[in-house]
Chains A and B, each alone.
Chain A
Amino acid sequence: MTGPMINSSLETQPVSGHVAGGWRGALRQLVSDRMGRIGLAIVATVVLVAFIGPLLAPYDRTAVATSRTGILQSPSAAHWLGTDELGRDILRQVLAGTSVSLEIGLIATLITVLIGTAVGVLAGWFTGFVDAVLMRITDFFLVLPSLPLMIALGAIIGQSLAMIVFVIALTSWPSTARIVRSQALAVREREVVARAKTVGLSSAGILWRLILPGVMALVIANAVLVIAGSILAEATLSFLGLGDPTRTSWGQMLHNAFVTGAVGNGYWWYFLPPGIGIVIVVLAFSLVGQSLERILDPRLAAAA
């Protein structure tokens, strides 16, 4: 599963786009919702670890074992999470991996949201031919199965983090575009826009001042879920061998663990921690994202 959570209710029913009390109000509501609170707390912790972790336990790529006994050790006082097949400390890799995974997730999400919002707003504003063309392209990309596409592109372009970010964004922007489009269509129908037109505000002006702010709240809620999906996607791609071997993301660690037979031999300290890391981060962003969606759409809250 490499895509963001499917939420058919938000996709087909546009929301008001406004939260009582603006940013602060949204934050307040987020904190008062239990799921949002927990998610936010975990995200904050993870971000902290991403920054501070490498300082506390610096990951030295060159610190490999000097003898046979140093490799694949189970946890001990010297190495709290044991060592890998080259004798490297796993705890430090996990800590270092935090920032790598987050970084990729965030950058990929940024690009996804930029493309998706642009396409969605343009399609929803211009409607007609532009909308039809954009939506056909969007639908086509939605139909293409994402993982095979990412694999194919990865194999052709070559392994690098930039490639991973590119392919994740390429397969994620369509669903954002659809969501933004239906919201943009709804905003367009509002009286404010009609009045702005009569007053003589240019199309660009309306787009920038009315439509964009109207979809922003939804974009943000969606973006949080996209972060979750992107982190999962990167982990999957790295696991399948398309990641950058020189940067330790959690997915890359799991790839190393798998190909060195950690599973078959029962070296649980190698493949458990990175996986747990992924689950925690993805879950945290999902909680926040779902909570935001509920804040934006009271109907979802009623159904929750």
Chain B
Amino acid sequence: MTLLRVRNLAVTYPTSEAMIRAVDGIDLDVNTGEVVGLAGESGCGKSTLALAVARLLPRGAVVSADEISLGGTDLRTVADEELRSLRWRRLSLVFQGAMSSFNPVMRIGSQIAEAIRTHEPDTNRRDVADRVGELLNQVGIAAARSEDFPHQMSGGMKQRAMIAMALACRPDLVIADEPTTALDVMTQAQILDLIRRLADELGLAMLIISHDLTVLAELCDRVAVMYAGRIVEIGEAEEIFGAAGPAHPYTRRLLDCYPRLEGGQGSISGIPGSPPDLAHPPAGCRFHDRCVQAIPGCTTAVPALRMVPGSVGHLAACTLLSVDTAISQ
């Protein structure tokens, strides 16, 4: 059952020189109990997308969409009062806790308790404290640490505390923005295990955003890949990361950036060039100037998301696909 439905979401930042389209016409679904990943380079708009859905963008950003609905509530038009009430209870976020996502002058426990008391104001103090302790235990932190200030916790611990806080009001959907970035590899693995476990146990729907495809490969049921403000590929994780491999040249190059333990010889390559200027995006497919497989048709028409032949629900926005389809027909 669809929990989050986003249709044709666009986010524009008007500046004195030009309009920057950080997100340009995105469709995205997250079903109940499903873990969806959102991948892409820095600056491709993925964090902007998450903040736009949660309506947390600073003023100055112009958000438009045909639909943004969370379980029946239209997030575009919902009143402030109701928006605040559904925050954390139905939709919560996990930011990079290792940075400054916690208030430095408030104890961790108080910040978690604050969320609980805001949305369940009748809970008495003892119960709130117990709940905080349970949440911390759930993520592997001793309950006594709730008295700590953020600077007293390590990066990994803060990230776990951030996760604990996100679960405080038993949300339907959790959006995690780069949950493992800025952590060392060992801690990353621990956090990934934790997220995986919690998602399974609690039947959470999650939208995980990361530039690290390996992270998404481990955690997600479905994955969407963004480039320059658009979704260029979306499908089941098993399909994209499996034997068949990705259908979009960008995703393929992205995957090539990460070494694999099992494969034999191979070379890690970066992607030449840099992401396009979002104020003046190139015509046609936005990846064409960095794509080794580009054909003349790539510069003229903007490729739509098309079904990858022989798959179920695997879509990619590549001109080559329609060429292949045409050839194979």
Contact flag (A, B; Cβ within 8 A): no
Residues of B within 8 A of A (CB): none
